[in-house]
């Protein structure tokens, strides 16, 4: 169950996608999400899915990982598509009518488009974390947010918090598993029972987990202070991000491809 | 005596069917007799912890069978929770599982899950606290105010209070100072002697196992390398060393003496027995043994 969580998981590799400047990857991912929601017709959505498949292929990330990352949000996708199915009213004759439920062709169309969009959204953002190590990713975010430091936004601190949060996800998952096993060994019922019983059964897990999280935070803060951490000011980096010619090329190619997807909206509006 | 745990051809594979599939346990068969004190030893990653988490059904075997008190754990119609109450499992660093407001309530968590009456729970809590040397005053305090060693004892008492038929402890003394170590281990020994309950103790310390266990199970690379009485296992000290395990300091000295050409046995693993052996050797080769007053006798 807990091993299904793939957020922040990184699959090292040496492909163009892996080596690309992380800042570019973040910008392209954001642009991709925008384009995904602007592409209103099936052709555009199909093209953006194709683009995603191509990138996964280049990065040599197995496609089954997409399924794995989708598993936790499957209920959300189902819920939204059911809502869309019943609440979108359109022209034409209803396909189905019973009591207060009416399904229009537009509803079906919208429900399918929306779920495909969400799937592509998750798969696209997962590709970013699969191909970029958390440290590099936060470096890139810090670098991208740098201009906001002038507005007194604590950019370095935000980036550091993200790094720490990402770093501790696997540790805390591991810890949760251990605590669950220990309480199960004492006869705690975690897998079955009524809803209220299951909520109550969480207490013996959450309390030790929070305590251990605070303990770890305390230890980490101490360790950082011991190594003279004093915030971002005057801090130098081991690896400076460099925007190379290859990155420029990748950026141009990505812009063109996303442009193509957008163009479908203008060129074939009737579809 | 009857077997309390019987394991037949047990195998457990992590991530089966994946490229990184690894066998944590490979075709293991053995039995533990009721009333035994079994020490489990093996280097890191040899499968000790995986093995003991099979004893109460936290891991499902990939293949093979486990019988506890004669019942097949994974047979149709068996309730796993029954086995969790039969086999009390104390994990490594068990103090991290404490969560209740008071120590007494935390110790009562297991018995409460068993659906016992209030009076029975109170009796068990008091008894378990006595076995682990916790004062009645401590029981009403929050477990988070206690020292590391006290927390550990509260956690162990929590499992003892379930009155299992087998108590399994994974490194109960890890991270404690020598005094805390001895206290906890001798409390477990006293508990074993008084109740006659089967105890399985996982430990890295050969000294501890030599001191408390009567049988030793040696794990090596997902398999059982040796399973015998303490004397017989320590008699094979060179093999233990070859497995990357240490042997008690006294055993090491006797091995070295034998290497130097002295005709002495090497199944020596406790200090009292070592003294006896040395004296016997002296008598055989140099006449009457010297008195031990004023320090120990010099061999040469």
Query: What's B98's domain CATH number?
Result: 3.40.50.300
Q: Indicate the DSSP class of residue B255.
A: H
- Comparing B14-18, B69-73, B244-248, B293-297, which segment has the lowest mean pLDDT? B293-297
Token output for A229: 């951490």
Residue B3 included in any domain: no
Residues A177 and A87 in one domain: no
Q: Which residue has the tokens 């199909």?
A: A46
Instruction: Give residue B256's pLDDT.
Output: 85
The mean pLDDT value for B216-230 works out to: 91
Domain range for A38 is 1-132+241-271
Model confidence band, residue B299 (pLDDT cutoffs 50, 70, 90):
very low
Q: Which residues of A touch B (CB under 8 A)?
A: 175, 178-179, 181-189, 203-204, 207-208, 211-212
Instruction: Give residue B274's pLDDT.
Output: 84
**Per-residue DSSP letters for A39-92?**
--SHHHHHHHHHHHHHHHHHHT--THHHHHHHGGGHHHHHHHHHHHHHH---SS
Residues B134 and B161 in one domain: yes
Residue A241 and residue A254: Cα distance in Å, rounded? Answer: 20
The domain boundary, picked from B234, B267, B283, lies at: B234
Instruction: Give residue A234's pLDDT.
Output: 77
Instruction: Give residue B67's pLDDT.
Output: 92
Residue B23 included in any domain: no
Of residues A5 and B177, more confidently modeled: B177
Residue A239 and residue A128: Cα distance in Å, rounded? Answer: 19
Chain A residues within an 8 Å CB radius of B98: 208
The domain boundary, picked from B182, B212, B234, lies at: B234
The mean pLDDT value for A8-17 works out to: 78
Q: Is pLDDT at A2 greater than 60 in this prediction? A: no
Residues B101 and B212 in one domain: yes
Residues B101 and B191 in one domain: yes
Interchain CB distance below 8 Å, B97 and A179: yes
Of A178, A187, A203, which is closest to B84 when you measure between CB atoms? A187
Of A178, A186, A211, which is closest to B110 when you measure between CB atoms? A186
- Residue B202, phi then psi, degrees to nearest 5: -90, 130
Model confidence band, residue A46 (pLDDT cutoffs 50, 70, 90):
confident
Interchain CB distance below 8 Å, B58 and A208: no
Looking at CA atoms only, how far is residue A128 from chain B in angstroms?
Answer: 24
Residue A211 CB neighbour total at 10 angstroms: 15
The mean pLDDT value for A199-222 works out to: 91
Interface test with B, best of A1, A178, A186, A193 (most B CBs within 10 A): A186
Model confidence band, residue A111 (pLDDT cutoffs 50, 70, 90):
confident
A62-76 residue pLDDT tens: 888 888 778 888 888
Q: Taking CB atoms and an 8 Å cut-off, how many pairs form between chains A and B?
A: 55
Instruction: Give residue B252's pLDDT.
Output: 82
Interchain CB distance below 8 Å, B81 and A179: no
Residue A215 and residue A213: Cα distance in Å, rounded? Answer: 5
Residue of A nearest to B94 (CA): A182
Q: Is B192 helix (H, G, I), strand (E, B) or coil?
A: helix
Interchain CB distance below 8 Å, B81 and A204: no
The mean pLDDT value for B11-19 works out to: 78
Residues B248 and B221 in one domain: no
The mean pLDDT value for B106-111 works out to: 93
Q: Interface pTM (ipTM) of the complex?
A: 0.82
Of A185, A203, A212, which is closest to B58 when you measure between CB atoms? A185
Residue of A nearest to B54 (CA): A185
- Comparing A144-153, B14-23, B254-263, which segment has the lowest mean pLDDT? B14-23
Model confidence band, residue B42 (pLDDT cutoffs 50, 70, 90):
confident
Residue A149 included in any domain: no
- Comparing A85-94, A258-267, B28-37, B256-265, which segment has the lowest mean pLDDT? A85-94
Looking at CA atoms only, how far is residue B58 from chain A in angstroms?
Answer: 7
The mean pLDDT value for A146-169 works out to: 86
B110-150 residue pLDDT tens: 999 999 999 999 999 999 999 999 988 889 999 988 988 89
Model confidence band, residue B227 (pLDDT cutoffs 50, 70, 90):
very high
Domain count, chain B: 2
Residue B132 included in any domain: yes
Instruction: Give residue B117's pLDDT.
Output: 93
Percent of chain A clearing pLDDT 70 (strictly above): 93
Token output for A238: 């081991």
Residue A176 included in any domain: yes
Chain A residues within an 8 Å CB radius of B144: 211
Residues A12 and A124 in one domain: yes
Residue B71 included in any domain: no
Residues A4 and A119 in one domain: yes
Residue B199 included in any domain: yes
Domain count, chain A: 2
Instruction: Give residue A213's pLDDT.
Output: 92
Chain B residues within an 8 Å CB radius of A188: 109, 113
Residue B1 included in any domain: no
Residue B287 included in any domain: yes
Of residues A211 and B255, more confidently modeled: A211
Percent of chain A clearing pLDDT 90 (strictly above): 15
B105 touches chain A (CB under 8 A): no
Those of residues 44-63 in B touching chain A at CB distance below 8 A are: 53, 56, 58
Q: Which residue has the tokens 């200090």?
A: B271
Residue A61 included in any domain: yes
Residue A89 and residue A69: Cα distance in Å, rounded? Answer: 32
Chain A residues within an 8 Å CB radius of B88: 185
The domain boundary, picked from B215, B234, B253, lies at: B234
Residue of A nearest to B109 (CA): A186
User: Of the ranges A3-17, A138-152, A180-194, A256-270, which is most confident?
Assistant: A138-152
Of A182, A203, A212, which is closest to B91 when you measure between CB atoms? A182
Q: Is pLDDT at B159 greater than 90 in this prediction? A: yes
Instruction: Give residue B107's pLDDT.
Output: 94
CA distances from A100 to A93, A96, A97, A119 (A): 16, 11, 8, 29
Domain range for B122 is 33-44+79-234
């Amino acid at each position: 169950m807990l091993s299904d969580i793939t957020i922040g998981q990184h699959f090292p590799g040496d492909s163009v996608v892996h080596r690309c400047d992380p800042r570019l990857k973040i910008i392209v991912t954001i642009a991709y999400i925008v384009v995904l929601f602007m592409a209103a017709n099936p052709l555009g959505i199909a093209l953006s899915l194709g683009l995603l498949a191509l990138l996964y292929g280049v990065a040599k990330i197995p496609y089954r990982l997409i399924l794995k990352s989708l598993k936790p949000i499957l209920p959300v996708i189902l819920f939204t598509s059911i809502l869309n199915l019943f609440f979108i009213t359109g022209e034409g004759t209803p396909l189905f009518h019973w009591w207060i439920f009416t399904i229009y062709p537009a509803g079906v169309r919208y429900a399918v488009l929306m779920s495909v969009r969400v799937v592509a959204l998750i798969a696209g953002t997962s590709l970013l974390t699969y191909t970029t190590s958390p440290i590099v990713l936060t470096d890139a975010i810090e670098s991208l947010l740098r201009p906001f430091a002038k507005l007194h936004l604590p950019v370095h601190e935000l980036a550091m918090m993200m790094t720490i949060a990402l770093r501790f996800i696997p540790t805390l998952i591991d810890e949760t598993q251990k605590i669950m096993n220990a309480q199960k060994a004492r006869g705690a019922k975690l897998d079955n029972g009524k809803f209220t019983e299951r909520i109550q059964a969480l207490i013996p897990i959450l309390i030790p987990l929070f305590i251990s999280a605070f303990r770890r935070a305390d230890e980490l803060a101490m360790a950082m202070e011991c190594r003279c951490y004093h915030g971002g000011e005057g801090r130098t980096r081991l690896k400076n991000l460099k925007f190379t010619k290859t990155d420029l090329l990748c950026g141009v190619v990505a812009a063109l491809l996303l442009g193509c997807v957008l163009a479908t909206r203008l060129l074939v509006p009737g579809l | 005596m009857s077997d309390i745990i019987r394991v037949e051809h047990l195998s457990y594979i992590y991530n089966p069917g994946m490229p990184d599939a690894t066998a944590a346990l490979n075709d293991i068969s053995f039995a533990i007799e009721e009333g035994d004190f079994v020490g489990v030893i093996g280097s890191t990653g040899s499968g000790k912890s995986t093995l003991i988490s099979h004893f109460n059904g936290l891991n499902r075997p990939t293949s093979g069978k486990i019988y506890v008190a004669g019942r097949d754990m994974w047979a149709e119609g068996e309730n796993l929770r029954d086995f969790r109450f039969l086999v009390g499992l104390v994990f490594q660093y068990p103090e991290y599982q404490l969560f209740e407001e008071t120590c007494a309530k935390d110790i009562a968590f297991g018995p409460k899950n068993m659906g016992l009456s209030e009076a029975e729970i109170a009796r068990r809590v008091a008894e378990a606290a006595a076995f682990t040397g916790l004062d009645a005053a401590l029981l009403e305090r929050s477990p988070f105010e206690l020292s590391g060693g006290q927390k550990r004892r509260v956690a162990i008492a929590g499992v003892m209070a379930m009155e299992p038929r087998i108590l399994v402890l994974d490194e109960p003394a890890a991270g404690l100072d020598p005094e805390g170590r001895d206290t906890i281990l001798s409390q477990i020994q006293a508990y074993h002697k008084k109740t006659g309950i089967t105890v399985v103790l996982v430990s890295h310390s050969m000294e501890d196992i030599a001191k408390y266990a009567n049988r030793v199970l040696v794990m090596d690379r997902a398999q059982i390398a040796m399973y015998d009485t303490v004397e017989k296992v320590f008699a094979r000290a060179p093999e233990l060393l070859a497995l990357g395990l240490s042997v008690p300091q006294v055993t090491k000295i006797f091995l070295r003496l034998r290497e130097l050409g002295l005709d002495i046995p090497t199944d020596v693993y406790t200090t009292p027995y070592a003294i006896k052996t040395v004296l016997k050797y002296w008598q055989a080769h140099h006449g009457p043994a010297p008195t031990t007053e004023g320090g120990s006798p010099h061999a040469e």
